[in-house]
Amino acid sequence: MILFDRVTKVYPNQMVALSGLNLHIQPKEFVTIVGSSGAGKSTLIKLLTREEVHTSGKIIVGGLDYDTIKARDVPLVRRRIGVVFQDFKLLQNRRVGENVAFALEVSGARGREIKRAVPKMLQLVGLAQKEQNFPHELSGGERQRVAIARALIRQPKILIADEPTGNLDPKNAWEIIELLLKINRFGTTVLLTTHNKEIVNALKRRVITIQRGKIIKDEEQGRYTLEGGK
């Protein structure tokens, strides 16, 4: 599903973010990526969403070779991957339903299709009653659910969750992780980055540890082994 072959990313200021990184993630896997700040996690995600372009090596996602992507195809690449962030990135002046619908609108879905899909998705993430609320009326956990619903509405094969629990209390954090596991059970490949030691250890799923742009550990049913995890 995701293949990184000796991928290197050097930023214009000569900072090497990833150096010869090899990574292979199978379809329907649930993978957690851990690493201290500046280890290269964010760069890895930015390469996947094509916010950054790799300097060398090969990236293939869902059969698509990133070397062949033209600038105008980048939006299409992004529509194939759902992403959720620590800060939710919701449109504050739009209702929950509109936020979720937005992802379908940009890809040209018809109004009828949107009306049908949005309530279903909100039901899946447990927000069926909140469709008409604005984001500021929701708790942190609920906001993250909206973000997940938006990421999933186009039924991507891959969901990237970049520190999705960073702003949440433990109870809400767990609910979000459970939601991610549920989504994974439905067949979506989930890529999670987190600093939450407790979550990583409890998940008992594949854990990839990155340090200084390289993978230093890749274990099935791994554990959080870095210093300073929450």
Partner 1 sequence: MLQFWRVLTAGSRNFMRNMWLSTAATAVMTITLTIIIISFISNSALTSTIKGVTNKIDVSLYLKDTITTDQRDGFQHALESNPNVESVKYVSKDQALELYKQKNKDNPTLIQGLQFAGNPLPASFSVKAKDPKHLQGIIDVANQDQFKTLLDPTAPPSYSGQNKDTINRIVRVSNFFKSTGLVASVIFVVISTLIIFNTIRMAIFTRREEIEIMKLVGATKWFIRGPFIFEAALYGIVAAVIAVVLSYALLLGGAPKLASYIDVKSTIDFFRSYPLLVIFGELIIGICIGAFSSILAMSRYLKL
Is there a contact between 184 and 161 (Cβ–Cβ < 8 Å)? no
Q: How many helices (H) and strands (E) does the chain have?
A: 7, 10
Task: Please tell me whether residue 90 binds partner 1 under the rule CB under 8 A.
Answer: yes
Mark the segment that binds partner 1 (CB under 8 A) among 19-27, 103-111, 116-124, 218-226. Answer: 103-111
Task: Please tell me whether residue 118 binds partner 1 under the rule CB under 8 A.
Answer: no
Residues 6+ apart with CB under 8 A from 86: 162, 163, 164, 166, 167
Measured CA to CA, the distance from residue 230 to residue 225 in angstroms comes to 12
Smaller CB distance to partner 1: residue 49 or 209? 49
Among candidates 161, 159, 149, which has minimal Cα distance to 120?
A: 149
Measured CA to CA, the distance from residue 219 to residue 24 in angstroms comes to 12
Smaller CB distance to partner 1: residue 80 or 214? 80
Mark the segment that binds partner 1 (CB under 8 A) among 74-82, 164-172, 183-191, 221-229. Answer: 74-82
Is there a contact between 72 and 149 (Cβ–Cβ < 8 Å)? no
Mark the segment that binds partner 1 (CB under 8 A) among 24-32, 98-106, 131-139, 178-186. Answer: 98-106
Work out which of 10, 69, 77, 226 binds partner 1, going by CB under 8 A: 77
Q: Which residues pair with 16 in a beta bridge?
A: 10
Work out which of 13, 14, 63, 72 binds partner 1, going by CB under 8 A: 72
Task: Please tell me whether residue 108 binds partner 1 under the rule CB under 8 A.
Answer: yes
Work out which of 6, 24, 58, 89 binds partner 1, going by CB under 8 A: 89
CB of 75 to partner 1, least distance (A): 4
Mark the segment that binds partner 1 (CB under 8 A) among 40-48, 70-78, 191-199, 200-208. Answer: 70-78
Measured CA to CA, the distance from residue 123 to residue 179 in angstroms comes to 12
Read off the tokens for 208: 């990839």
- Site residues for partner 1 per CB under 8 A: 49, 51, 72, 75-79, 83, 89-91, 93, 102-103, 105-108, 110, 150, 154
